[in-house]
Amino acid sequence: MLFEDGSQIFVTKEMMQRFSLQGKEALSEEEYEELFRYRLRFSAYTWLSKRDYSSWELEVKLSRYCSQKQWISDLLKDLQQKGYLDDYRYAIQWVQSKKYGRVKMEYFLLQKGYSREFVRKVLDEAYQTDTKEIIKIWNTLAKKEKEKRVMALLRKGYHYSEIKKALAEIEE
């Protein structure tokens, strides 16, 4: 559906029936807003059904199709209230699915639009068992010299103090 201002909305058959669009030449402002908000919600549900998004990522994605910041903000609040959009859950799952250290994960999460305080809270929870992960990686690198293994762990984003703690545990 193409509008006078040049904007357009992809309309499904279900939307055609729901909004009685068959044969309509014009829409009132209220009908236009309702149709556009419905389409935004439909798009958000479609994207969220395929994978989780952070609020910031979904906002960026929606803003490509809609210039009305308030509509996007209202939709994001509604999705959060319904439990479809949960930044904390998303961040924890994302961190746990990656095999990087705390420093690298902090960088990635900040790039996703999270605040430093939020990132620290997530990382404190996610990296409670850091030592076990370091020991696991250390053992997979067993054929390499100690110095090279330490450097490999540092490149993965682990702090030197965490590596030393894990090494002390191994030597016990």
The answer, yes or no, to whether residue 3 has pLDDT greater than 70, is: no
Maximum mean pLDDT: which of 42-51, 128-137, 162-171:
42-51
Is pLDDT of 141 > 60? yes
Gap between the Cα atoms of 108 and 119, Å rounded: 10
Q: What percent of the chain has pLDDT over 70?
A: 93
d(CA 65, CA 126): 34
Q: Give the count of beta carbons closer than 10 Å to the beta carbon of residue 151.
A: 14
User: What is the rounded radius of gyration, in angstroms, for the C-alpha atoms of the chain?
Assistant: 24
What pTM, to 2 d.p., does this model score? 0.66
**Is pLDDT above 60 for 2?**
no
Q: Are 166 and 111 in contact (CB under 8 A)?
A: no
**pLDDT band (50, 70, 90) for residue 119:** very high
* Averaged pLDDT for residues 54-82: 93
**Overall average pLDDT of the 136-161 stretch:** 82
Residue 55 has pLDDT above 90, yes or no: yes
Cβ atoms within 10 Å of 90's Cβ, excluding its own: 20
